[in-house]
Chains A and B, each alone.
Chain A
Amino acid sequence: MNTAMKFRTLTRHLREGCKNIIRNGWMTIASVGAVTTTLILVAAFLALVLNLNQMANNIENDVEIKVLIDQTADEEQITDLGDNIKALSGIDTVQFSSKDDELVGLIESMGEEGEAWQLYEQDNPLSHAYAVKAQNPADTERIAKDILGMDNVQDVNYGRDYVEGLFQFNDYARTIGLAIIIGLVFTAIFLISNTIKITIMARSREIGIQKLVGATNGFIRWPFFIEGMLLGILGSLIPIGAILGGYYYLVNNLGVLDNYSFVTLLPYNPFAWQLSLIILAIGVLIGIWGSVMSVRKFLKV
């Protein structure tokens, strides 16, 4: 368009776009159905991947190095060791835990069976320890090795194989999750633009007539733009309902797993709302994209 569109023309396009939704009847339902189906899949995968990612982060952040201190070390040596550890690069926190704290922690973590350990309260066989956290969990292994080489260190414990495997798994999970989501979005775009293309093919004659009566390409395209947007919005209604309802159910029923501190779903508010907004945006985008792309080839009359 080489001149600014008048406001009344914009309202005309809005009105026309809305009318097309009704005029196309079954094709509208087919398009909306395609948008709905794919958006539900995308939403489910997004929720899954984002939550897995969150859990992975939780676990990663929980990884800590337990430095067991030689029983023979005196207080000064213990303090020196602490300072040495703090001096390493990439250290987040260094927390001293006396052997009595360690025993209490052990008894608590074992629940009822832990009561047996209470016998040892008089003669504690455990060592003093430092709990060390790395700023970047991926540095855990390097830091653990450095600490193991220090004086007065009896042992270093961080679940070597477990941690390495976990980091690798998390990387894979993120990459694969992202790939699946991108694949889904493109499938959705393809499906929807095809469905809309069918409705537009039926209207190619009308587009030709409009051009012969003096309509510019922009004038013809606008109602399709509006229509695509509406298809996207309509198609995202059910998925958004499913997100808001389904996620509410999940959050309230997975509370049972509270024992495993890393299995925490992202909080309903704001996550469910953010996800809904993302789904709405994706829906509108593919609606417009599919609609405008498929009208393009019919404009050359």
Chain B
Amino acid sequence: MILMKDIYKTYANGVTALNGISVDIKQGEFVYIVGPSGAGKSTFIKLMYREVKPTQGTIIINEIDMSEIKERKVPYLRRDIGVIFQDFKLLPKLSVYENIAFALEVIEESPRNIRKRVMDVLEIVGLKNKARFIPDELSGGEQQRVSIARAIVNHPKIVIADEPTGNLDPDTSWGIMKTFEEINARGTTIIMATHSKEIVNTIKKRVIAIEDGLIVRDQNRGEYGYEI
């Protein structure tokens, strides 16, 4: 499903984020990415939906070689990947409902299905009563839940989350984790960068620890922590 081989990434400003990373994530896996801030977690995640291109190395996602994909095919690839961004990336002038519906409009879903599915995910993230609000009227945690709703609304094969529980209170966090487990149980691959020791140690999954641009640990049913 996701195959990376000897990935190096150096940004234009000379900062090296990844220093030779290889990883193989199978369909239906649930993977935590842990590591200190600035270790390369975000770069690692951005490679998967091609917000960032590697300086060197091969990435294959859904059997598509990302180095060979044509620019105009990229949107279609992204439709199979639901991303929960660290900074949410909500469209500021659209309502909660419209933000989530946007992911379905781009795949030309019928208005009826759009309505039904948006209402369904709003129910899941508990924002049904705020459908008409615009992002600025929501708290950080609520915006994060909108971002989550948008990422899962079109049933993508992969859900990538960059600290999805970072702004949430414990109750909501566990609610979101429950949702992730449910969609994971239906066969969706989940990749989640997190700093939450509690979550990683409670809901035991595969843990990939990144430090200084290298994978320092890759362990099934691992514990939180990135010290070697």
Query: Which A residues form the contact surface with B (CB < 8 A)?
Result: 2, 5-6, 8-9, 12, 23, 206, 209-217, 219, 301
Contact = CB atoms under 8 A, between A and B. Distances in A.
B53 to A, nearest CB: 12
A217 B89 contact: no
B169 interface: no
A213 to B, nearest CB: 5
B106 A219 contact: yes
Nearest to B90: A209
Contacts of B108: 5-6, 8-9
Closest 9 CB pairs of A and B: A214-B79, A214-B78, A216-B75, A215-B106, A209-B89, A6-B108, A214-B75, A23-B93, A214-B106
A23 B51 CA distance: 28
Given A6-B108, A8-B108, A8-B110, A214 B89 contact: no
Interface centre among A9, A209, A213 (most CB of B within 10 A): A213
Interface in B171-202: none
B91 interface: yes
A206 B92 contact: yes
Contacts of B149: none
A12 B106 CA distance: 10
B107 A212 contact: no
A214 B85 CA distance: 14
B: interface residue count bin: 20 to 34
Interface in B89-145: 89-93, 102-103, 105-108, 110-111
Contacts of A212: 49, 51, 78, 83, 85, 89
A213 B106 contact: yes
A211 B49 CA distance: 11
B72 A217 contact: yes
B91 A12 contact: no
Contacts of A9: 105, 108
B150 interface: yes
Nearest to B111: A8
